[in-house]
Amino acid sequence: MKKILMYIVFVIVLMITMPIVFTDNFSKTEQTSTQETTPTYEKADYGDLNTIRLLHQDTGQVEELDFDPYLYGVVSSEMPASYELEALRAQAVVARTYTIYKIVNGSKHENADICDSSLCCQAWISKENRLARWEENVREEYWNKIVDCVDSTSGRYVTYQGQPINAFFHSNSGGLTELPVNVWGGSYPYLQVVQTSGEEGYNGYSSEVEVSKDELIQKMLAKYPNFEIHFDEVNCIQILDLTESCRVKTMKIGNVSLSGVEARNIFGLKSAKFEFEIVENVVKFRVMGYGHGVGLSQNGSDVLAKQGMTYEQIIQHYYKDVEIK
Ligand SMILES: [Zn+2]
């Protein structure tokens, strides 16, 4: 009898406490997930820049977008949404800065502020196309991350001595970023050679391009009609000197001297940081890094975010003596 009574008491206690435990857990989970998916941030007023006139290169149409929603399309096109949130925030602030710099210093386009081509201005993708390219099970999470990284940094941009910086960025620095003087000419005090370790874990870090001797001759002749090479000569291809970041500064191919950047373009290499080897009938290029290498490295930003850096710290790692307004 006593045992039965104790059992009844135990069951009653269990019936009262279990729902409390579960309900408590459930409401906490619900609260956290609501906070994560729908945060609200104060929207910045960009004054004259509130509306961005975006030129679509494929159609020639100009679309007008609010500044931050324009950046959703830039960040989601420029950086994988699977990256760390702080890396995405750094990308959002840098893309915003790049946009402001382009507009303030004169757009390349007559009736638009900026275009959607990464070869000309910076990449942009519509929400519809972006969502369609993500797997269905990550669509909502990824889009919320993109919106969050832009909205949580709304209005913030990078300045040097009070002025917006020319915020270049690229995919993978191959370990060291490059000075703009070695890519396009010109120099900016905030763009220096910066080291980041850990980028070797990303696809863009190392690649190879093989060019047959015949192909090499054809490609060189297309650019230099007087090109000549004698593959039986030692040093028929030679790297002459390297830049501060160990990219090829100048090289000689046959009777032509050219920069590493030019060789990169002629042979379609991912970066100007390369070595080569002639094996029988083929010239093999082993390439490190992806992109021009100037400014913020996107892969490097993800590495630094994984190490616990905030987006402000990531930006200050890649651009020297800057402030984030
Ligand atoms: Zn453009």
Question: Model confidence over 147-184: pLDDT tens digits?
Answer: 999 999 999 999 999 999 999 999 999 999 999 999 99
Residue 106 C-alpha to ligand 1 middle, in angstroms?
Answer: 11
Find how far residue 322's CA is from the centre of its chain: 19
Segments forming the whole domain that contains residue 126: 47-167
User: How close is the Cα of 78 to the center of ligand 1, in Å?
Assistant: 15
Strand partners, 283: 211, 278
CA–centroid distance, 165 to ligand 1, in Å, is 18
Residue 115 CA to ligand 1 center (angstroms) comes to 4
Q: What is the pLDDT of residues 7-63, one digit of tens each?
A: 544 444 444 444 433 333 333 333 444 445 556 788 888 888 889 999 999 999 999
Q: Has residue 274 been placed in a domain?
A: yes
With CA atoms as reference, report the closest residue to 188 among 320, 298, 290: 320
Q: pTM value?
A: 0.84
Of 124, 146, 167, which closes a domain?
A: 167
Return the half-sphere exposure (C-beta side, CA atoms, 13 A cut-off) of residue 95: 32
For residues 174 and 289, membership in a common domain is answered with yes
Of 167, 201, 232, the residue at which a domain comes to its end is 167
How many domains are there within the chain? Answer: 2
In a domain, 272, yes or no: yes
Structure token digits, residue 101: 């710099």
For residue 245, give the DSSP letter: T
State the Cα–Cα distance between residues 137 and 146, nearest whole angstrom. 16
Residues 6+ apart with CB under 8 A from 85: 145, 148, 149, 305
CA of 251 to the centre of ligand 1 (A): 31
**Residues whose CB is less than 8 angstroms from the CB of residue 148 and which lie 6 or more positions away in sequence, other chains included:** 39, 85
Ligand 1 centre to CA of 60 (Å) is 11
Instruction: Tell me the pLDDT tens digit for each residue of 204-254.
Output: 999 999 999 999 999 999 999 999 999 999 999 999 999 999 999 999 999
Strand partners, 67: none
What distance in angstroms lies between residue 119's CA and the mean position of ligand 1's atoms? 8
Question: Residue 101: pLDDT above 80?
Answer: yes
Does 199 lie in the same domain as 160? no
Residues 83 and 128 in one domain: yes
- Residue 213, number of CB atoms within 10 A of its CB: 15
Residues 134 and 140 sit within 8 Å (Cβ to Cβ): no
250-306 pLDDT per residue, tens: 999 999 999 999 999 999 999 999 999 999 999 999 999 999 999 999 999 999 999
Strand partners, 238: 252
The amino acid at residue 173 is S
Is 229 found in the same domain as 158? no
How remote is the CA of residue 254 from the centroid of ligand 1, in Å?
36
* Same-domain check for residues 222 and 132: no
- In the sheet that 114-115 helps form, which strands lie side by side, from edge to edge? 62-66, 51-55, 114-115
Cα 216 to middle of ligand 1, angstroms: 31
